[in-house]
Amino acid sequence: MQETIDTSMIDWSRAQFALTAMYHWLFVPLTLGLAVVMGTMETIYYRTGNAFWKRTAKFWMKLFGVNFAIGVATGLILEFQFGTNWSNYSWFVGDIFGAPLAIEGILAFFMEATFIAVMFFGWEKVSRKFHLASTWLTGLGATISAWWILVANSWMQYPVGMVFNPETMRNEMVDFMAVAFSPVAIVKFFHTVLSSWILGAVFVVGVSCWYLIRKREQAFARASIKVASAVGLFASLVTAATGDQSAYQVAQVQPMKLAAMEALYDGSAHAPLTVVGPVRIPEMLSVLATHSRDGFVPGINDLLQGGYPLADGSTALSAEEKIERGKMAVNALADYRQASKAADSVQMEAALATLQQNMPYFGYGYIRDTASLVPHVALMFWSFRIMVGLGVYFIFLFALLLFLTWKKSSFFDQSGWLHQIGLWSVPLAYIASQAGWIVAEVGRQPWTIQDLLPVNAAISHLETGSVQTTFFIFLVLFTVLLIAEIGIMIQAIKKGPEDI
């Protein structure tokens, strides 16, 4: 791994990956969310035989198909960047990180590709039961795909199930089940996928409200809002519950991320949770982070300076101490390699012992400045509050819409302002979704793999100019794809559900 590298190239590579990931995440949550909504609608059609629900399901399927196709294109580019821009990362942990991505490609993607054809073209060619199964299996394939991608991402946040092989200088998987079913992966999966259901539900509500505003397809719009609100309310409540568990896990394995989320510089017991400005909830941060009202939550300064008690009774190391131990691990690896070439078994054993003792801090050996261990606090603080605030807003929105539509309230039909709120909630759902990933990924910086590999040691040896060029190529390409998708969807929405 490289010790000196052009920092501007690191920044451009990070920017390119962030660009690709954020564009990709414009499409993925809508795919996952629409899959549930249209599957529910077709289930109602299967159970009732009412052609109205077939017509409704087919309309949302059309929008699902447009979004699905473009999401696949951006996802492929995202995975290629691990090999092009982050080759040291791929070398160091490719045996582990590549496994869930390979499973995703072999199992989930082919599952989606198989059943999506039946879903779109098999309405009059297969039985209603088989077609319904195909619709749900297409959505299940997309969800399984998300599972394996989130397993890979969760491993970067919480690396488990591996050992470092000093002979190959690579981390190797020793426990696949620990990687595939780590507690971080499970919570992240439910939190991420269910938040995608929220976005899909808001999208359906927004489009349906547009029809109500235009006095078109009134029955279709009300029925779609009813289904979407039920899906969205369920997903919102479960997402909130998994968010609580996620906060606890972050406090245990990524305390700097939590400190940045709260803009907490000096930790304390009985720590309050900041809502915004001076508004705080007493002791709530301690409850979230430690599941105890009097639990100590370290702040940014505590994490840098060390010296505070840990849950196991030990004392936290300072950032400088971790860096020194990281350098010991890096130097021990070099000594081991040199002794191995010289066939000096005694020196190999001594170097290996030093390496194993300090391996938990290996990544710190590449940190040049303790300030780089602190994520962008303002971005983290506000992204977290935008995500949570909009999540609470969606709970109330779905509950209100579900109540009014199930009660068949005339107030709902006559409330143009409520229809406008539903329509303009669509961009808010995308903002909340992107804010969640900003919290997850910016909060992990400067690590590509938490405590194991920082970005400056994970990068490929490339010319800065080439990364800049491809950044702008991708920016133009993705923007064109996004504009094309929006244009196609708008035309489909204007046309409305087709007669059957």
Tokens of 346: 């005694």
pLDDT value at residue 251: 93
Tokens of 43: 């289930």
Q: Is the dihedral of CA 147, 142, 50, 399 positive or negative?
A: positive
- pTM of this structure: 0.92
Do 34 and 27 meet the contact criterion of CB atoms below 8 Å apart?
no
Do 100 and 149 meet the contact criterion of CB atoms below 8 Å apart?
yes
> Could you report the per-residue pLDDT of 430-483, keeping only the tens digit for each?
999 999 999 999 999 999 999 999 999 998 888 888 899 999 999 999 999 999
Burial class (CB in 10 A: 0-12, 13-18, 19+), 213: middle
Report the first-to-last Cα separation within the chain, whole angstroms: 61
Do 154 and 184 meet the contact criterion of CB atoms below 8 Å apart?
yes
CA pair distance 206, 200, nearest whole angstrom: 10
pLDDT value at residue 98: 85
pLDDT value at residue 463: 86
Q: Is the dihedral of CA 155, 157, 159, 164 positive or negative?
A: positive
CA pair distance 459, 431, nearest whole angstrom: 29
- Residues with pLDDT less than 50, the chain: 1-3
Strand partners, 162: 173
SS (H, E, C) the chain: CCCCCCHHHHHHHHHHHHHHHHHHHHHHHHHHHHHHHHHHHHHHHHHHCCHHHHHHHHHHHHHHHHHHHHHHHHHHHHHHHHHHCCHHHHHHHHHHHHHHHHHHHHHHHHHHHHHHHHHHHCCCCCCHHHHHHHHHHHHHHHHHHHHHHHHHHHHHHCCCCEEEECCCCEEEECCHHHHHCCHHHHHHHHHHHHHHHHHHHHHHHHHHHHHHHCCCCHHHHHHHHHHHHHHHHHHHHHHHHHHHHHHHHHHHHCHHHHHHHCCCCCCEECCCEEEECCEEECCHHHHHHHCCCCCEECCHHHHHHCCCECCCCCECCCHHHHHHHHHHHHHHHHHHHHHHHCCCHHHHHHHHHHHHHHHHHHHHHHCCCHHHHCCCHHHHHHHHHHHHHHHHHHHHHHHHHHHHHHCCCHHHHHCHHHHHHHHHHHHHHHHHHHHHHHHHHHCCCCEEECCCEEHHHHCCCCCHHHHHHHHHHHHHHHHHHHHHHHHHHHHHHHHCCCCC
Distance of CA 326 to the CA centre of its chain: 29
pLDDT value at residue 5: 55
